[in-house]
A and B are shown apart, each in its own frame.
Chain A
Amino acid sequence: MTLAKTNVDLLQGTLDLLILRTLLPGPQHGWGISQRIQQTSEDVLRVNQGSLYPALHRLEAEGWIDAEWGASENNRKAKFYRLTRSGRKRLEEETAMWERLAAAVARVLETA
């Protein structure tokens, strides 16, 4: 699902987690989300921008994010995504899951 120059393949579902986390501070449109992910990961994670949209639409259908139309920074019609209450819950679950996974991997790496 993702191709990044830095060879970090995003695990299945990780993109969802990243999107949800990015939306936590406030509503954002698709391009904004892709920029945020790229910037905050200091360019390590480069989301293949196209694959962002099917994920956004899927999350919307699941009810974790809501969409509404608004004006972009350059004053054009843009679709803004917003975290819903169940999305917030989902984010917490996914984050916890991710942390457990990361910790487990780290432990394996340390002891092996």
Chain B
Amino acid sequence: MRPLRRLRVALRALLKPRRVEQELDTELRLHLEMETERHLRAGASPEDARRAALVSFGGVDRVKEECRDSWGVRLLETLAQDARYGLRNLRRNPGFTAVVVLTLGLGIGANTAVFSVVRGVLLRPLPYARGHELVALRQAAPRAGIEDLGFSVKEVQDYRERSRTLEDVVEYHSMNFTLLGGKEPQRVRTGVVSARFFDLLGVKPLLGRSFREGEDEVGAEPTLVLSHSYWQQKLGGDPGVVGRTFEMNDKVHTVVGVLPPLPGYPDENDVYMPASACPFRSRASTRENRQARMLNAFARVKSGVPLEQARVELASITERLRGEYPDAYPKDADPRAVASLVQEEMVARARPTFLVLLGTVALVLLIACANVANLSLARLSDRGRELAVRAALGAGRRRLLRQLLTESTILALLGGALGLLVAGLALEALVGFAARFTPRAGEVRIDGAVLAFTLGMAVLTGLVVGTLPGLPAFERLARTLGGEGRMTAGRSRQRLRSALVVSQLALSFMLLIGAALMLRSFAKLQQVDAGFRTENVLTLTLDLNWAKHTNPEGRLDRERVLGVIEPLWERVRNLPGVVTAGSAWTFPLNSAWRNDGTFMVEGRHDEAQPLPTADFLGASPDYFEAIGVPVLRGRVFDAHDRGEAEPVALVSRGLARRHWADGDPVGRRISFDRGKSWRTVVGVVGDVRQTGLAQEPKDTVYLPFLQFPGFSSSLFVRTVVDPRTVAEQARAQLRALEPDAAVSNVRTLEEVKSEALSSPRLTTVLLGLFAALALAISAAGLSGVLAYSVSQRTREIGIRIALGAAPGRVVAMLLGQGLLAAAVGLGLGLVGAIGLSRVISGLLFGVEPTDPLCFVGSALVLSVVALVACFLPARRATVIDPMLALRTE
């Protein structure tokens, strides 16, 4: 409060000086008049009275001056004077000013951009009411190695009813359905939720309402809530959309509301429907079967209840359920409910990357600061005389220091403004980058906090840059005045400049190592054998209208589904340029894919041990040829593996090796229902990285697609021509066969792989860019220091040359000086890099954070750059004319 008031007083005095002076005048005049009158009343003559008043008052001008002092104007005035003087100075050195503003602008801009992402993603509260209380519930089966088993409808009910620490428990799952009623059938990602789902999140719809109590009960009218992006993109933001109807799964759904923009969490859903509207979820068999686990759950921890307490309670509820339903909670799987904070779930993947980036840009800014301080030091040497004269004319040490600080602060503020511009330009790209890691990327923007951060950064930078060169300069000021101290002052400053350059080089080395590690890691990732051949394969996701392909009991009608897909294979195979076509439940490298379960190897079951787990994937006979997965033993599926034929399966190489000593399971049997029925292994195929390049291939059991087709599946077409050219024809064939089928994700397998590599590629590019920027700045700094050193040593070098030193000797001497700085920088950077190696290890794939190759490579790059940076000023030294050099002093 008080500083603000003082500032107001001072500003008023500064901005309305005439008015304020007038008021002071009036005030003092009144005093003198009244005092005069008092003396008059006491009987003094007018002249005496006037004099007496003036005497008891003291000097009027001095009083006025003291009053002005108490307004604090003086401070502002000198500040303004400093600023004017500083600006004039900077204008007089446009080159220096431009370089500094640009350097600081890039440094501050990078920091602002990365901070705005960190703020939007990691620091801002969730866009839900009391978002910090929201938890995601998972049911894990640790003994079976399953992280997310899902909850059954019964279980969600039980946890809701029994918990005292959770305010509410709602269910959630996401499925793709076909939405009819628009121009063409659309595959919509649908969040299937409890009626209270949005109330739990505290989300108020933009239009209409969210689901009502009871709308998730069987028999309720089917309704729909649209996501903001779907409403905008597919329905043109139609304000009258509430009340419109769409057909989904054979039911007419009425749109009741539109959501505000929200993070795509738990999934990037297009629309939401109440639980009862989902044909799978609302089946009696699903509702009644405690082991039909297909749901996720979300809850809100009651206000004031610590998360740990909720976790303990969940464990005790699980314990009771285990007692009541022992069959549903087998010992060898050990299902249990666990809770984690939604705000952490949403950013878990983004955190390490963005913290590394934040650290990187902070280092870049430090390097920029060091460089600017260095430039200022060089300029200070040139300004030595000017400053000395000002000191001689009575400017105090503090005043001169403040002058320097004002100048550097002006520079930093200009840099900050430029930085804001840089950040604004970079933001869109950075948001796109962040979106690969977190659903919260949409919340990134330059807001008040970011502006405050930038301003703070700029002021801090100004202080650092202004103080560094200021300190030793003044210690030597007196001697400069005396004229004899020039060398001493120069040498002390030179030492400081060398120290700055060494620290720049050290920091650059650390950044180079970070970039090299990312690069190497990326190269490793790129070389990973994903287990299939990406060349000339087209893939697309195909979703059949659920309503048209179910039998009267509401289950998938195998023959109807195959009635579309089998002829599709046949027709696509006959297209020109196509080698073969096949299908599977999903496409490889699909990070969202999860379909694991337990199985039993015949004659190999130990009651005490948990059952082994594997991924399950339905695949058609030609799938393996289409995507190029090698067949290692036995055979793949054929057209006979359908219907009630002898049940067969294929296994991946990894699974075969793990469970059969000779790696040959052909002819052996496995079971998925604890031995009630058995399936014969007929072949072994190569390992495929199904969920991502960085994930080791999982043990996989393949099932015949002809026996287990899906409403949603991926089609793969191997061609001898450019695969993109057959995309349209394949779609046309499908449309002819089944007009209601929705097609999405039309890509080549090359693109699928490239997509999987894109986040690490971008991280690598970003770190590489920052390291290059840091290196360039540092090289310029090194070069500048050496050039300065040459100019300071002109006389010495001139004498050396005059005494017959060969130019090579002189160059070698100067190079040696620069390389010494580089060597010390390398040493310090090495220590720093080893110290920080743990930070980056989370981002690396297949590379140790202390990878010697990266360290040596980075050291080489830095040394070469340092050598080049030194060579230019060193060469200039060799052309020094000894006579001229001697005359300069």
Q: Which positions in A face B, CB cutoff 8 Å?
A: 29-31, 34-35, 48-51, 53-55, 57-58, 60-63, 72, 74, 76-79
Contact = CB atoms under 8 A, between A and B. Distances in A.
Chain B, interface size category, equals 20 to 34
26 contacts: A30-B31, A31-B30, A34-B31, A49-B58, A50-B58, A50-B59, A51-B63, A51-B66, A53-B27, A54-B63, A54-B67, A54-B69, A54-B70, A55-B70, A57-B71, A60-B9, A61-B70, A61-B72, A62-B6, A63-B1, A72-B30, A72-B34, A78-B27, A79-B23, A79-B26, A79-B30
A85 to B, nearest CB: 11
A51 B65 CA distance: 11
B30 A48 contact: no
Contacts of A60: 9
A76 B37 CA distance: 13
Contact of A50 (B1, B2, B62, B72): B62
A61 B72 CA distance: 9
B664 interface: no
A104 to B, nearest CB: 29
B235 interface: no
Given A61-B5, A61-B9, A31 B31 contact: yes
A49 B62 CA distance: 12
Q: At the interface, is chain B mostly helix, strand, loop or mixed?
A: helix
A78 to B, nearest CB: 5
B58 A48 contact: yes
In the A-B complex, list the 10 residue pairs whose CB atoms are closest, starting with the nearest: A50-B58, A54-B66, A58-B70, A50-B63, A57-B70, A31-B34, A61-B9, A31-B31, A50-B57, A79-B27
B889 to A, nearest CB: 54
Given A49-B56, A61-B6, A61-B72, A77 B30 contact: yes
B38 to A, nearest CB: 8
A31 B53 CA distance: 11
Interface of B: 1-2, 5-6, 9-10, 23, 26-28, 30-31, 33-35, 37-38, 56-60, 62-63, 66-67, 69-72
Contacts of B57: 48-50
Nearest to A3: B58
A62 B2 contact: yes
Nearest to B62: A50
Nearest to B8: A61
A50 B70 contact: no
A49 B568 CA distance: 105
Given A50-B62, A58-B70, A76 B35 contact: no
Contact of B5 (A29, A57, A63, A77): A63
A29 B35 CA distance: 13
Nearest to A58: B70
A23 B70 CA distance: 20
Contacts of B33: 76
A53 B6 contact: no
A51 B58 contact: yes
Contact of A53 (B5, B37, B63): B63
B465 to A, nearest CB: 33
Nearest to B63: A50
Nearest to A60: B9
A48 B56 contact: yes
A35 B69 CA distance: 25
B70 A31 contact: no
A25 B57 CA distance: 25
Given A48-B58, A60-B9, A61-B71, A53 B2 contact: no
Nearest to B7: A61
A58 B37 CA distance: 28
A72 B26 CA distance: 12
